[in-house]
Chains A and B, each alone.
Chain A
Amino acid sequence: MNDFVTLAYLDSHQLLHRVQTIFRQPGRALVYVLVIGYFVMIQMLRSHTRLPVVAVAVPEPFASAIMFSFVALIGVITYGAASGFVGVFSSAADARFLCGSRIPEATVVTWLQLRRCASMVLRTAFAILLYAFVPHAVNFASTGLIGFTVIAGTLFTAATAVPMLKLRAAVGSRFARTFAAAIVAAGLLPLAILLGSLLSPGLDPWAHAIQSIGAGYAINALFHGNAAGLTSFYAAAAAMLCLSFVTGRDLYPELYASSLRVQTFRQRRRRLPGFVTGERAYQASGPLAPSRIFEGARGAWTIAWKEWIAFMRAPGARRMFWFGLIACALAGAILGNVAKHSRNPLGTALALGVSISNMVIIFITIASSFGLAEDLRKPLWWMGPDPIWLRLLAWVLATSWRLSICMAIGIIVFAATLGLSVIAVAGIPIAIATAVYLRSIGLALYALLPSGLDQRGPLAMLRALLTYLFALPAIAASVTAALITHSLAMSVSAGIALALAEALLLIAFAAVRIQGRGATFAQAEAA
């Protein structure tokens, strides 16, 4: 027990100093106060409306699809662990001090697992809160019921990491990866059939057979707050944590190597989402031939050329891009099909569009944090006569095209499935403008508070709120243009023009903040 007290001392004191550091800086403290104030205000407003707790009933085949998505997700996470990708040590110091301590390794490993699980559960809970508190008609209590299931799932998934790493150490990475791949396949195959049945009626018998397993029933029971179901789910997660204690012996070298790998990945991901490439992957990409695309770029636009080269030389980023592209196309096809077979296709399409947009905004604000330190601390980035705002604009465009293309493909497939080309014509420019707009808001907030910790915390909330707030003028312009001209083209153009103008203003704001303070930002980002 004393050992756990010692480990608790380590983490509680770090947390205490982190909080003290934040509250010594009024700007950072203000953001935290604002966000907490917002949570309280919304909760107070909602408590007056007395929304009933409406348990969400997910229809088939979506309910079964959710369960098999979860199985596939467990498979992906365990595949990562089987490939030596588990971040349990928070830093090199963590590894050195804990490995050198006299605390039994199993205790340390269990503590590290608990800490990692707690961190993931907190982040998930924060994401659920964020979604529930964003100002649209989400019933908080209903979201909370689903939240319990999602948190149990997160806990279970996070707890699989150490046992899987032990399996890798014991029997080799090939066997461990095959095992994990089998879990992925066990999730993906039924998922593909279930979703495929929405597009092709020929798959219906297969889909019905999968639905009869009862996975969808289990999901709905969990979403309805079934006590026995939830207790079993949490017990399974706890059992997995116990397994960490049993298997957490003679594992320090593997944990150290995998933690370093995760830290390198996180640094790269903050700079450019999707850059999951290690040195080995760079080597695997073959000879580094110069790229002809953006070859003619001059001045600030050479940043676009640089980012393009980086993308082309990072197979992980390319894989992520293709995965996103396929996922968006698939989502477009499925949602298009759902809308097509509804009573009011256009109304359903619009409702789905709004709902998906909300999800995209929430997902992007939670999943992505900004990191420019790698660029800002390099003198090369500051060379050249072009103003900083132009360089930041080039950077924003160079790093938002992938999201633009993924969203545009989703919209095209959605429109094609529905047979409404007008959705594609209006949606593609909106998708491009949205990606630039979202990136600009992220950049402006980074320029305000560059700390990575803040970005994963209250700034994510602030970013979501500002995204909605700053969208209002663009929406107003679009509506006004529609009322005056009765033209969809004019309406879309007005909205896009205003959104892009706002994006430029946000970039200009970021430029003013960053100008001449590259080193300060690089330092603050790590804080």
Chain B
Amino acid sequence: MPELLISDLKKSFGKTIAVDGVSFNVTGGEIVGLLGPNGAGKSTTFLCAAGLLRPDAGTFSWDGRELGSKRGQTIALISETPDVYPMLTVWEHMVFVAKSCRLPADWQARANDLLERFDMAAQRDTLGNALSKGMRQKTLVAATVLAATPVILFDEPMVGLDPLGQRELRGIIRHLRESGTAIVMSTHMLEQAQTICDRVVILKSGRIVASGTFEELQARSGTHGTAEDLFLELTR
């Protein structure tokens, strides 16, 4: 399976070190949870990976090929406030992605299929500013899948979603995993992370303090309580 490899990522803002030598990998068809307290460097890592923030040091590679400044074409970021164009309809987002990514002629059938699958067919002609947060997230995921972006970074995807929205998004993320997409997801919802993530990487003050499956981390730390107990123990 192809693999996203982030190596020795460093980023400072003035004297504040946001990310300090972070390295981890995620393979296609895997979900890695990026956990950590506020200010740990999760969002900075994501912005650097998506090519929206210039790192001070570090490399990104996909399938053994180093990604340069155009890594935004390989790695898509879906932020906590899913940003869609307020004055474009859901379908127009699809059209723009298809045109700008020069997709083959059959893209319309695929786009329609995606909207059906994500239960968004009824919102096809709805403007971005009239969509709920869940719908905006689904629009972005559908656009990303349509563009065949192999890596998706979800920054706090569950925040602000109702229980049904959370369940739907979990289903979509699992579906993406099954289709071979490499997924990194940051969240403060530890139970969710335990349920959905194959592995977790825990950051604190810009550094990785632990990584592995929950079971491995529990065994290593000797903590046998909940995911929350484990997290608090590791980030204390």
Contacts and interface: CB of A to CB of B under 8 A. Distances in A.
Interface of A: 2-3, 5-7, 9-10, 13-15, 17-18, 21, 91-103, 105, 250, 252-254, 256-257, 280, 527
B88 A103 contact: no
Contacts of A257: 53
Q: Helix, strand, loop or mixed for chain A's interface?
A: helix
Q: Which one of A2, A15, A17 has the highest number of Cβ atoms from chain B below 10 Å of its Cβ? A: A17
B232 interface: no
3 closest A-B pairs by beta carbon, nearest first, are A101-B100, A93-B83, A253-B54
27 contacts: A2-B99, A9-B95, A9-B96, A10-B96, A13-B87, A13-B92, A14-B85, A14-B87, A14-B88, A91-B86, A92-B83, A95-B52, A96-B77, A96-B140, A97-B97, A97-B143, A98-B100, A100-B72, A100-B76, A100-B149, A101-B97, A102-B100, A105-B70, A252-B52, A253-B52, A257-B53, A280-B14
B100 A103 contact: yes
Contacts of A94: 85
Contacts of B54: 253-254
Interface size bucket, B side? 35 or more
B88 A101 contact: no
A250 B88 contact: no
A93 B95 contact: no
Contacts of A91: 83, 85-86
B73 interface: yes
Contacts of B92: 13
Contacts of B101: 101-102
Interface of B: 14, 50-54, 68-70, 72-73, 76-77, 79, 81, 83-89, 92-93, 95-97, 99-102, 127-129, 140, 143-144, 147, 149
Given A6-B100, A101-B100, A527-B129, A93 B85 contact: yes
Contacts of A17: 87-89, 127
Q: Which one of A5, A6, A98, A254 has the highest number of Cβ atoms from chain B below 10 Å of its Cβ? A: A6
A92 B79 contact: yes
Given A5-B99, A15-B87, A96-B83, 18 more contacts: A6-B96, A17-B88, A21-B87, A91-B86, A93-B84, A93-B85, A96-B76, A96-B79, A96-B140, A97-B93, A97-B100, A99-B50, A100-B147, A101-B73, A101-B101, A102-B100, A103-B100, A252-B52
B52 A18 contact: no
B73 A102 contact: yes
Contacts of B70: 105
Given A9-B96, A254-B54, A256-B53, A99 B72 contact: yes
Contact of B88 (A13, A21, A256): A13
Given A252-B69, A253-B54, A18 B87 contact: yes
B51 A252 contact: yes
A187 B50 CA distance: 41
Contacts of B50: 96, 99-100
Nearest to B84: A93
Nearest to B14: A280
Contacts of A98: 100
Contacts of B79: 92, 96
Given A13-B88, A102-B102, A252-B51, A97 B96 contact: yes
A508 B144 CA distance: 50
Contacts of A253: 51-54, 69
Contacts of B87: 13-15, 17-18, 21
A71 B102 CA distance: 43
Contacts of B89: 17
Contacts of B100: 3, 6-7, 10, 97-98, 101-103
A7 B97 CA distance: 11
B59 to A, nearest CB: 15
Q: Which one of A18, A21, A96 has the highest number of Cβ atoms from chain B below 10 Å of its Cβ? A: A96
A18 B92 CA distance: 14
A18 B86 CA distance: 9
A14 B97 CA distance: 15
Contacts of B95: 9
A527 B100 CA distance: 26
Contacts of A105: 69-70
A146 B105 CA distance: 50
Q: Which one of B51, B52, B84, B129 has the highest number of Cβ atoms from chain A below 10 Å of its Cβ? A: B52
Q: Which one of A13, A15, A18 has the highest number of Cβ atoms from chain B below 10 Å of its Cβ? A: A13
A95 B84 CA distance: 10
